[in-house]
């Protein structure tokens, strides 16, 4: 670990000012489950680490008639085990519960889960100066790319590692970013950015901005949601592919659908083609099958990750099958 200055601000504004003062050479610390490994692996060498641990009220999980408000320091365990979140925002609770291990879910926060850096083994290895670290090459494109993206271009083929992000995008959540100069709302779908926007970042947060809260609208009456994660190990493993779905039913007819894939692209991958097929009719096996195929249309797999297409289609089919009202 490279030596750094450690700051414990008393307010979000102060924290933002501490970030602004270092112009990109400061990093936020919440649960630390990702940042500490980045520091140890010298993937991050900040001059200042700003701890959010001392800030009050940032760990709230507050459902209301209109929306679910979650603070960035809410633990993944807290979200996964919250009775009302489990009932109403099921996909989010299931996503939070599918991440990592019980120990990491206790320490890990929602903010950290959304802002964690990718797991790409070239990015995480100090010896590969990849594009995400300011270099010229995405080593994955012609390299060992089994775990990499099947959507996206030549800039960088990471997958977004978060298990909560697909659900937040599916629910149409909105995020608040604060800086020393103010606050702004960002829809979850626009929060995550493709490498083509800025290869060195995975989201829209500016160097001095902090994710301050997440608001998830209460889904319409008759909605059902879920998250399905496919991985090599049943615990302590990132998704090979995952799928979050929010479906609204009127009787047996599906009136609206949101399908978002994880593990397939540098951002949570929304599937409008699949959503269109699903909305407006009862879900039968044929319709689900067509939706799953549509969800993966446009995929451009690399040499070692073609399997993700069939696997993600299976994830979509399985999850939708599970969500059909009985």
Partner 1 sequence: VAKKAKVKLGFPGHFRVSEVPLAAGDPEPLAFDADLEVIGKRIPRVDGPDKASGRARYTFDLRLPGMLHAAVLRCPLPHARLRRIDTKKASSLPGVRAVLVLEEREYPYAGYEVAAVAAETLAIAREAVRRIRVEYEPLPFVTDPEAARSPGAPKVRPSGNVLSSAGSSRGDLETAFRAADASVELTFRTPVALHVCLEGHGSLARWEGDRVTVWDSTQAVFEVRDALARELGIPASKVRVIKDHAGGGFGSKLQMRSYTMIAARLARMAGAPVRLLLSREEDFLCTGNRHSSVQTIRIAGRRDGTLTALWWKAYGTGGVEGGAQTSGPIEGLYRFESLRVEEEDVFTHAGPACPMRAPGHVQGVVGLEGAIDALCDELGLDPLEVRIRNDPSQLRREEFRVGGEKFGWSRRQAPGASPGPVKRGFGVAGTTWEGSGIPGPRVEIRLHGDGSVDVSCGTQDIGTGTRTILAQVVAEELGLEAGDIRVHLGDSHFPYSILSGGSLTAASVSPPARSAAFAARGELLELAAPLLGVRAEALETGRRQVRVRGTTRAVDWEELLRKAPGGAITAAATRGPNFEAYHPGTAGCQFAEAEVDVETGQVRVTRVLAVHDSGRILNPLLWESQVNGGIIQGISYALLEERVMDHRFGKVLNANMETYKVLGAMEVPRIEILPFPVAAGYNNTQVLGIGEPAIIPTAAAVANAVANALGVRITELPITPDRVIDALERAKEKQA
**Strand residues in 218-294 grouped as ranges (E):** 223-230, 241-250, 253-262, 269-270, 281-282
Task: Please report whether residue 122 would count as binding partner 1 according to CB under 8 A.
Answer: yes
Task: Please report whether residue 181 would count as binding partner 1 according to CB under 8 A.
Answer: no
Binder among 236, 280, 284, 303 for partner 1 (CB under 8 A): 236
Contacts of 38 (CB under 8 A, 6+ apart): 27, 44, 117
Burial profile 286-302: b = 16 or more Cβ within 10 angstroms, e = fewer:
ebbeebbbbbbeebebb
Binder among 60, 201, 218, 304 for partner 1 (CB under 8 A): 304
Task: Please report whether residue 289 would count as binding partner 1 according to CB under 8 A.
Answer: no
Binder among 98, 188, 317, 323 for partner 1 (CB under 8 A): 317
Binder among 142, 154, 198, 207 for partner 1 (CB under 8 A): 142
Task: Please report whether residue 89 would count as binding partner 1 according to CB under 8 A.
Answer: no
Task: Please report whether residue 139 would count as binding partner 1 according to CB under 8 A.
Answer: yes
Binder among 5, 84, 144, 207 for partner 1 (CB under 8 A): 144
The residues in 33-62 that bind partner 1, with binding defined as CB under 8 A, are none
Q: Is 124 exposed, middle or buried (0-12, 13-18, 19+ CB in 10 A)?
A: middle
Task: Please report whether residue 233 would count as binding partner 1 according to CB under 8 A.
Answer: yes
Contacts of 208 (CB under 8 A, 6+ apart): 16, 17, 19, 20, 179, 180
d(CA 28, CA 37): 14
Binder among 48, 60, 69, 146 for partner 1 (CB under 8 A): 146
For residue 162, the SS3 value is coil
Q: What does the binding site for partner 1 look like in residue numbers (CB under 8 A)?
A: 1, 119, 121-122, 125, 127-128, 139, 142-144, 146-147, 230, 232-237, 240, 304-308, 310-311, 314-315, 317-318
């Amino acid at each position: 670990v490279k030596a750094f200055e450690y700051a414990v601000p008393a307010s979000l504004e102060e924290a933002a000012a501490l970030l602004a003062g270092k112009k990109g050479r400061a990093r936020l610390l919440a649960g630390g489950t990702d940042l500490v490994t980045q520091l140890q692996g010298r993937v991050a060498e900040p001059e200042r680490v700003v701890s959010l641990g001392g800030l009050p009220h940032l760990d709230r999980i507050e459902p209301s008639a209109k929306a679910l408000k979650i603070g960035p320091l809410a633990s993944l365990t807290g979200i996964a085990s919250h009775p009302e979140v489990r009932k109403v925002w099921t996909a989010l609770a299931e996503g939070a519960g599918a991440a990592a291990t019980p120990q990491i879910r206790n320490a890990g926060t929602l903010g950290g889960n959304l802002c964690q850096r990718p797991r790409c083994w070239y990015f995480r290895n100090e010896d590969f100066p990849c594009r995400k670290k300011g270099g010229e090459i995405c080593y994955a494109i012609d390299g060992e790319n089994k775990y990499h993206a099947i959507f996206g271009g030549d800039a960088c083929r990471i997958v977004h590692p978060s298990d909560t992000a697909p659900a937040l995008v599916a629910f149409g959540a909105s995020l608040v970013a604060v800086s020393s100069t103010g606050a702004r709302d960002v829809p979850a779908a626009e929060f995550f950015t493709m490498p083509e926007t800025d290869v060195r970042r995975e989201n829209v947060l500016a160097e001095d901005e902090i994710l301050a809260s997440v608001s998830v609208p209460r889904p319409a009456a008759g909605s059902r949601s879920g998250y399905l994660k496919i991985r090599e190990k049943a615990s302590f493993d990132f998704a090979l592919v995952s799928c979050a779905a929010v479906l609204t039913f009127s009787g047996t007819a599906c009136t609206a659908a949101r399908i978002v894939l994880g593990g397939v692209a540098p951002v949570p991958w929304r599937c409008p083609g699949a959503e269109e097929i699903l909305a407006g009719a009862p879900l039968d096996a044929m319709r689900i099958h067509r939706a799953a195929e549509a969800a993966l249309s446009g995929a451009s797999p690399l040499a070692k990750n073609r399997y993700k297409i069939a696997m993600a289609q299976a994830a979509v089919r399985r999850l939708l099958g599970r969500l059909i009202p009985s």
